[in-house]
Structure 1
Amino acid sequence: MLNRAELPGALYTAEQSRALDRTAIEQFGIPGFRLMQRAGHAAFVELMAHWPGLRRLTVAVGSGNNGGDGLIMAGLARQQGLEVQVLVVRDHFEDGLQGEALSAWQWAQAVGVELTRWQPGLKLQGEVLVDALLGTGLTGPVRGESAELIAQLNRSTRPVLAVDIPSGLCSDTGRVLGVAVRADLTLTFIALKQGLLTHEGVDHCGQVLFDSLMLPDEVYEEVAMSAFRTDRDDLAKLLPPRRRSSHKGQFGHVMVVGGDHGMGGAALMAAEAAARSGAGLVSLATRPEHVTAALTRAPEVMVAGVNSGQDIQPLLARPDVLVVGPGLGQSAWADQLLQQALNTGLPLVLDADALNLLAHRNLAGREHDWILTPHPGEAARMLGWETHEVQQDRFAAVRALQARFGGTVVLKGAGSLSCDGDAVHLCSAGNPGMACGGMGDVLSGIIGALRAQRLSAVDAARAGVYAHARAADLCAADQGERGLLATDLIARVRRVLSSLD
């Protein structure tokens, strides 16, 4: 049985989650009210585990099934002798209840739960606040009293537990619909909703826990999932231990191309990350002015100074994978180097200015074996969108990028996504300390090294994204997030990819 601290690998949309619920009820004969009781009980157990000395509880409930879960919690709290304040946002709340939510209210009422009509200025009495106001069915912005109550919950300094999803958050995209609860803990049920782990979802969910409510595995076999979540187990499967007889020729040769004037460090970080990520050989093609510095910092990297596309051409016969873009710039020199790389037909990892050059050229890429790694701003330029359009539905954006440019696309950001056209993979690791220059350069080197070690493009992308984010989490755990540098990750990545952390 899955521990609540362990998130499942399958991610679902709201509609798919409802389909799982219907399947459990209609095909497997599990009464809906029993599922609601399980949800309320699971949330109450988690509440008491996190706040064991709790004496007073405030529960904000709506008239849907999410509110029914909250009413079950309130009834259980009342039975345990807690003082319980249950808030509703309109008069005649009971008139809007039906189905399982009505059954939950009838049960809660029987054990002594009373309702309080919320009004602006009403004091929140609980030491912990429970958000069971709005569920996954929300489609438009939160308005009126619900929005005002959410704002009051957010102004409180008391901890908040969100039932299934923070009210006001889109469970499909992680976008805030007007206003959303900022929870300290979110316990989600039956299906892990994809929006909890990306975009603004990561700011509003706090710690995310999961409970399947004891649904049989056969229920999940009946409903397609939306995306996959990459974790440590995936990394171990993709990178088994090396044989004792291994040699460098078996682990590929990565060449990093980039480092225009004033940006040599970007290309060097990518090369060093590739070397630390297990590539058999790593070379660097950069401006001649950067050769000495590169050799001084990373003598294991073979460095060549190139002044033009003609200079790099003879070097391109040796590598197995090219990483193009770190510090590349958008000059004529950069354009020539990118064109030569495209002409090789080798597997490519394209980042930074290589992506900007692609956007300017409007190149479709179905014939290329490449991995593209844009951040939201670069993705917007590539698609001709605004950055906020990319962010408001990152799943749609990564699929649109892949449909237009082919290959595999990594859309970086909170909850980075990798897509090869068949599946989307989400990385839930990582932290805000990664919001600094050079992180993308290190990532491109990691992905390039994994591609050179004969991982498929999508596996190299998703494993590289996870290893990069996990290394950042380990660094932050040691010394904090603020002031984290991209180069801090490089030694940790080595340990992550060796399954030592």
Structure 2
Amino acid sequence: MKVVTPVQMRKIDSYTIESIGIPGIVLMENAAIRMTDEILKDYGSVINKNIVLFAGKGNNGGDAFAVARHLCNKGANTVVFLLAEKKDIAGDARINLDILESMGIETVEVLESGKLNDVEARLEKAELVVDGIFGTGLKGGIKGFKADIIRLINQKNVPVIAVDIPSGVDGETGAIEGECIKAYKTVTFGFPKFGHYLHPGCEFAGELVVADISIPDSAAQNFDIKSYVIDGETVSKLIPKRTGNSNKGDYGRVLVITGSTGMTGAGCLAGTASLRSGTGLLYLGVPKTLSFIYECKLTEAVTIPLEDENKGFLTRACVPELLGHMEKMDAVAIGPGLSSKEGVRDVVLSVVENCNVPWW
């Protein structure tokens, strides 16, 4: 999955709106629907639940306005605290604010710390907070009454779900200067941003959900995006599909040469990783006196007890047998937990010099 900077995301949004022709209000509506879906996934019914939404004056605030409408339609008791003057709200966000007011959904301006008591009173009864104060383009620390409100939200034991990114996180660097929303979940739109993955921002984002808001793939292809995150979808494309008339012998034989007294865990981890990556047959070449440990730990692996002269680590004496087994393998791994005992170096050199299959 592509990972973008806030600047790249703005360019993708602009291209989608101006060149492809999908109106910004449609993207905002899709974002609000996806946010609402995530809330319903976590909470089930929101009928009569008290949900407090915080909105800034930008498009994040517009998303929050639209989310408030959807939650109200689902039966929630919603109140929106707008941390800006209503007259300053413009564009698509203004459309959604006007809809809220037409529906009679309570929207309260908060422009100074003097209104913190009103905010705190609502938070005391809240079962969920939606953070739509700042977006991914934030630079520098949050100050003044907005910082006071974020501090107050964090002090309350109320779950927070963030729109796009927790308010206070730099969307490009993950940096946090001052107060920052601590979310249990963040729903971002189109593509994840660097700030979602970089420390300390990642610690404040909670579970990250990347929501599809109908931005076409072609929109991103017009920009030089070179950064990716490895996810389940990416990995699944690399693993060949298994046919119904195959068996485990058709999916590769891997030999992991591993083990010494006190360090058997490393080989178990390496073996488990090999199996999870799709290995059909896993063999563990281990010191003979320790083989019972691996047989108990890894049910699917075939253990090959190698000569260790009762020392608890591999010795030169195991090399002939080891080389014979290597000839039957498709790949070899050597190293996990072998130790640096005398004789182990000779085993490693023998493998390196004689292995005719991929090894690492």
TM-score (ref. length: structure 1): 0.54
Cα distance, 1:340–1:103 mapped onto 2, change above 3 Å: farther
Q: Contact (CA 8 Å) 2:47, 2:74: kept in 1 or not?
A: no
Specify the code of the residue in structure 2 equivalent to 1:54.
N
Which residue does the alignment assign to 1:347? Answer: 358
Match of 1:123 among 117, 120, 123: 120
C-alpha RMSD of matched pairs (Å)? 4.1
Specify the code of the residue in structure 2 equivalent to 1:290.
L
* SS of residue matched to 1:254: strand
Match of 1:302 among 293, 301, 304: 304
1:321 equivalent in alignment to 2:351: no
1:183-222 equivalences under 5 Å are 183-193=183-193, 196=196, 204-222=204-222
Measured after TM superposition, the shift of residue 137 of structure 1 is: 0.9
For 2:68 and 2:216, locate their aligned partners in 1 and report how far apart those are by CA, in whole Å: 27
For 1:142 and 1:262, locate their aligned partners in 2 and report how far apart those are by CA, in whole Å: 50
* SS of residue matched to 1:213: coil
For 2:67 and 2:50, locate their aligned partners in 1 and report how far apart those are by CA, in whole Å: 13
Cα distance, 1:309–1:41 mapped onto 2, change above 3 Å: same
Measured after TM superposition, the shift of residue 304 of structure 1 is: 1.0
TM-score (ref. length: structure 2): 0.72
* SS of residue matched to 1:117: coil
1:188-337 equivalences under 5 Å are 188-193=188-193, 196=196, 204-223=204-223, 224=225, 226-231=227-232, 235=236, 238-242=239-243, 244=245, 248=249, 250-268=250-268, 270-271=270-271, 274=274, 278-280=279-281, 282-286=283-287, 289-291=289-291, 293-294=293-294, 300-306=302-308, 310-311=316-317, 313-314=319-320, 315-316=322-323, 317-318=326-327, 319-330=329-340, 337=347
Which residue does the alignment assign to 2:24? Answer: 32
Q: Contact (CA 8 Å) 2:184, 2:206: kept in 1 or not?
A: yes
Measured after TM superposition, the shift of residue 22 of structure 1 is: 1.1
Which residue does the alignment assign to 1:52? Answer: 46
For 2:143 and 2:347, locate their aligned partners in 1 and report how far apart those are by CA, in whole Å: 53
Measured after TM superposition, the shift of residue 104 of structure 1 is: 4.5
Which residue does the alignment assign to 1:64? Answer: 58
Cα distance, 1:331–1:14 mapped onto 2, change above 3 Å: farther
Q: Contact (CA 8 Å) 2:307, 2:314: kept in 1 or not?
A: no
Q: Contact (CA 8 Å) 2:136, 2:170: kept in 1 or not?
A: yes
Cα distance, 1:177–1:256 mapped onto 2, change above 3 Å: farther
Runs of at least 5 residues in structure 1 that lack an aligned partner in the other structure: 1-8, 350-501
Measured after TM superposition, the shift of residue 107 of structure 1 is: 5.1
Q: Contact (CA 8 Å) 1:285, 1:312: kept in 2 or not?
A: no
Q: How many residues align?
A: 337
For 2:27 and 2:275, locate their aligned partners in 1 and report how far apart those are by CA, in whole Å: 51
Look at both structures and tell me which one has the larger radius of gyration over its CA atoms. Answer: 2
Cα distance, 1:334–1:109 mapped onto 2, change above 3 Å: farther
Measured after TM superposition, the shift of residue 88 of structure 1 is: 4.4
Q: Contact (CA 8 Å) 1:136, 1:165: kept in 2 or not?
A: yes
Which residue does the alignment assign to 1:155? Answer: 155
Measured after TM superposition, the shift of residue 139 of structure 1 is: 3.8
Runs of at least 5 residues in structure 2 that lack an aligned partner in the other structure: none
* SS of residue matched to 2:260: coil
Cα distance, 1:321–1:237 mapped onto 2, change above 3 Å: closer
Cα distance, 1:115–1:197 mapped onto 2, change above 3 Å: same
For 1:254 and 1:13, locate their aligned partners in 2 and report how far apart those are by CA, in whole Å: 40
Specify the code of the residue in structure 2 equivalent to 1:25.
I
For 1:273 and 1:73, locate their aligned partners in 2 and report how far apart those are by CA, in whole Å: 42
Percent same amino acid at aligned positions? 25
Deviations 1:321-357 (A, max 9, x none): 22233223355655555555555475334xxxxxxxx
